[in-house]
């Protein structure tokens, strides 16, 4: 019995690793821009980092944009840049999706869009510190932003996408979804939710023409760590090979849309790490070792 269990575990790990490392091309078809009825992409957390990069690359593919974030000045500057560079229309919505009013505003706008092709749920943040000492309001905002906002915006987008039999929803998650370390309890839990949500939603949407992806990058050079929560974080303590570029992350994500990999991990290093973390026994041992240093 033990030998049989071990064989099953090894087989599962092998299949899991193979599925992570192979990257078949995406099946989501990028259509030429139709000036009369251009497709639209809505991106949350669009004012910087990965969100801004999604905006740039989707504009280059000819999609009109709805850019959502809290910082109106940043959004306006990005909208002007992309309109001038690619001739696309850019609407900006300054909203805090961790608050009910901001989320309701964006949700209502999605329901008015006749040609929404891509929804990118990117808005998010991290904190450092054990839950026992954490600011309750800040933790509740994280859960609202990482869980409720993607769910409600996806639910608002789905009726139109399924009716048109075309659409893509990208939920920006993290390899943190596979890690258990002190001081990150709600960050890892909400990212794990995004992975499970994306996988199950894709099962529901099978055959509808709507594709779902949970993007799980590792360390990426953005402004993510440029907050008071990460005042003691030193990027230089991690070697250069561990850092991804936002442009590469987004390009790989868009190229892989609909390729069967709902959980998409950019970069060979992080694919290998996730494969190890998903391996029975070995993954648990790695978690326990990581917990010693968390």
CA 36 to chain centre: 30
Query: Mean pLDDT across the chain, nearest whole number?
Result: 90
| Dihedral angle over CA of 125, 245, 268, 273, nearest 10 | -30
Q: What is the DSSP string of 176-207?
A: GGG---TT-HHHHHHHHHHHHHHHHHHHHTTT
- What is the pLDDT, as a whole number, of residue 227? 84
Pairing of strands 90-94, 64-69: parallel
Point out the least confidently predicted range of 12-26, 88-102, 214-228. Answer: 12-26
Strand, helix or coil for residue 20: helix
Q: Which residue has the higher pLDDT, 112 or 10?
A: 112
Question: E-assigned strands of 149-278?
Answer: 167-172, 210-215, 220-221, 244-245, 263-264
Q: 147-172 pLDDT, tens per residue?
A: 999 999 999 999 999 999 999 999 99
User: pLDDT tens, 112-145?
Assistant: 999 999 999 999 999 999 999 999 999 999 999 9
- Spatial separation of the C-alpha atoms in residues 183 and 168, rounded to whole Å: 33
Dist CA 24 CA 264 (whole Å): 11
Q: Based on the number of CB atoms within 10 Å of its own CB, is 206 exposed (0-12), middle (13-18) or buried (19 or more)?
A: exposed
Q: What is the pTM of this model?
A: 0.89
Give the Cα separation of 265 and 287 in Å (integer).
Answer: 19
Q: Are 128 and 138 in contact (CB under 8 A)?
A: no
Domains of the chain: 32-293 (3.40.50.720)
H-run or E-run covering 36 = none
When pLDDT is cut at 50, 70 and 90, the band that residue 225 belongs to is: confident
Q: Pairing between strand 210-215 and 116-121?
A: unpaired
Quick check: 258 and 202 in contact, CB under 8 A?
A: no
Q: Give me the pLDDT at residue 1, please.
A: 42
Q: Which residues are catalytic?
A: 187
pLDDT exceeds cutoff 70 at 237: yes
Question: Rounded CA gap, 252 and 25, in Å?
Answer: 10
Q: Are 137 and 145 in contact (CB under 8 A)?
A: no
């Amino acid at each position: 019995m033990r030998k049989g269990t071990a064989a099953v575990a090894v087989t599962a790990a092998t299949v899991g690793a193979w599925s992570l490392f192979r990257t078949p091309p995406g099946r989501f078809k990028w259509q030429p821009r139709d000036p009369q009825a251009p497709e639209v992409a809505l991106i949350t957390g669009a004012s910087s980092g990965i969100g801004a990069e999604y905006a740039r690359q989707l504009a280059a593919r000819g999609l009109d944009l709805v850019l959502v974030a809290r910082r109106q000045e940043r959004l306006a500057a990005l909208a002007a840049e992309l309109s001038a560079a690619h001739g696309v229309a850019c609407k900006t919505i300054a909203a805090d999706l961790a608050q009910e009013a901001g989320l309701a505003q964006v949700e209502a706008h999605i329901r008015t869009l006749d040609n929404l092709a891509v929804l990118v749920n990117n808005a998010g943040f991290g904190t450092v510190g054990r839950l026992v000492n954490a600011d309750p309001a800040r933790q509740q905002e994280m859960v609202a932003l990482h869980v409720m906002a993607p769910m409600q915006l996806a639910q608002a987008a789905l009726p139109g996408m399924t009716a048109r039999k075309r659409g893509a929803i990208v939920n920006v998650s993290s390899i943190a979804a596979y890690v258990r370390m002190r001081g990150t309890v709600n960050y890892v839990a909400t990212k794990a939710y995004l992975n499970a949500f994306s996988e199950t939603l894709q099962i529901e949407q099978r055959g509808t023409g709507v594709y779902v992806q949970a993007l799980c990058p590792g360390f990426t050079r953005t402004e993510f760590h440029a907050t008071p929560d990460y005042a003691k974080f030193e990027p230089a303590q991690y070697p250069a090979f561990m850092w991804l570029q936002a442009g590469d992350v987004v390009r790989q994500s868009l190229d892989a849309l609909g390729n069967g990999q709902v959980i998409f991990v950019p970069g060979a290093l992080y694919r290998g790490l996730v494969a190890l973390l998903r391996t029975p026994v070995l993954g648990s041992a790695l978690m326990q070792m990581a917990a010693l240093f968390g």
